[in-house]
Amino acid sequence: MSSVPPNQATSFLLDALFSADAFDFWSSKVHPLWSCKKPLAQIVSKHPESEDAVTLVLKPNRHVSAFIAGQHVNVSVEIDGRQHSRSYSPRYLANNHIAITVKRIEGGKVSTWLCNQSQQGDIVQLNAPFGEMTLKENPSHAIFLAAGSGITPFISLIQAHAKTGQHITLLYWVRDDASTCFAEALTQLEQANPAFRLHLLMTRPKEGNASGRIHLAQIQALVPDLANTHWYACGPEGFVSTAAGLAKQFSRPFLGEAFSLPELATSPGEHVQIHLLKSRKTISVPSGEPLLSALENAGIQPAHGCRRGICNTCACPKSSGTTRNILTQEEQHEAVSGLRLCISTACSDLTLDL
């Protein structure tokens, strides 16, 4: 009968006792935020921010990375025994706490859980920050154009920029009063800071006249002096594209970030074959559909986060085939090590390392 050498047995025992997973399991019994390497945070409070959004105040452990105002983090939670991640915009609070504001999305697994089911004491994971929507310089007059939940990365940017004493104008489009986030914080900031101007624009108010969607005359009326302005925009893709076009008319610096993708023109009936190397499967998907959505509809669940081509969580190797970038319309014929599934469509049969 064979036996395990003493040194090998000792190695097995040490691995079992001192592996990162084993440490995390036992340390969590003592304190929920103790971890060998995982960047964890505990929900310490939760309050409504609007009729369809909540703000969660989080206490992070020492492994949570520092972030810059305007960046995003992928928040991972366990739902029905599986880990799910979505990206949100964090901001710093007092006592080294962090806040994220989550808008409930119809059919959204993570946003619904965070808004409806999450409770004080629950643990989430905060992965490394990402995103380029940051103040790279100190403009004399920053114009922030936000639509709906596009305000969430801006609140920390505005608070940070307000400390410089430079001029800030926020144009914030919402449906009505009930859908407005950070109303009290923005009002207080305007009252305390003479260089800050807030324009709340309601497209479907319960009372009064609607402001209408973003257009040139509106911008000129609310911000008469556009000289030396830097423009920032966040919202749906159509809103950000319109804002970019207006900034270009005035030759103003512009930085935009959309939380949705452009509408795609699909050709009914056209399908391509996706060969998945790791899964050893071949599936048929519509050629004009984002690959991430197409794979999910076929029962494949790739890791993902932002669904906007920013966080790279869904990136995987492509060894053959032609894809098109939804944002730039550029085609990629060569093999690549990191194809972003969320912003890519298939132009031919593909081979992916999934």
- Tens of pLDDT, residue by residue over 261-310, are 887 765 566 899 999 999 999 999 988 899 999 999 999 989 888 888 88
Higher pLDDT, 85 or 16: 85
- Is residue 133 within 8 A of residue 68, CB to CB? The reply is no
- Is residue 185 within 8 A of residue 170, CB to CB? The reply is no
Give the helix/strand (H/E) hosting 324.
Answer: strand 323-325
pLDDT score of 101:
97
Q: Within 10 Å of residue 298's Cβ, how many Cβ atoms?
A: 14
User: pLDDT-derived band of residue 200, with 50, 70 and 90 as boundaries?
Assistant: very high
**What are 283's two structure tokens?**
């599936």
pLDDT score of 265:
62
How far is 44 from 97, CA to CA, in rounded Å? 9
Chain centroid, CA 28 distance in Å: 28
Q: What is the mean pLDDT of residues 96-109?
A: 94
pLDDT score of 156:
92
**Phi, psi of 121, rounded to the nearest 5 degrees:** 100, -20
Higher pLDDT, 224 or 233: 233
Strands laid side by side in the 73-79 sheet = 82-88, 73-79, 123-126, 40-50, 53-60, 98-103, 90-92
pLDDT at 343 over 50: yes
pLDDT at 131 over 80: yes
pLDDT score of 1:
43
Q: What is the mean pLDDT of residues 129-137?
A: 85
Q: What is the mean pLDDT of residues 225-251?
A: 94
**Phi, psi of 245, rounded to the nearest 5 degrees:** -65, -40
Among 8-22, 78-92, 167-181, where is mean pLDDT lowest?
A: 8-22
Q: Which residues pair with 286 in a beta bridge?
A: 271
pLDDT score of 27:
66
How far is 126 from 138, CA to CA, in rounded Å? 29
Domains and CATH numbers, the chain: 38-126 (2.40.30.10), 141-258 (3.40.50.80), 271-352 (3.10.20.30)
Question: Mean pLDDT over all residues of the chain?
Answer: 89
CA nearest 348: which of 228, 227, 334? 334
User: pLDDT-derived band of residue 34, with 50, 70 and 90 as boundaries?
Assistant: confident
pLDDT score of 352:
96
- Quick: pLDDT tens for 61-72: 999 999 999 999
pLDDT score of 14:
47
- Quick: pLDDT tens for 9-28: 555 544 555 566 766 666 66
| Residue written as token pair 């556009």 | 226
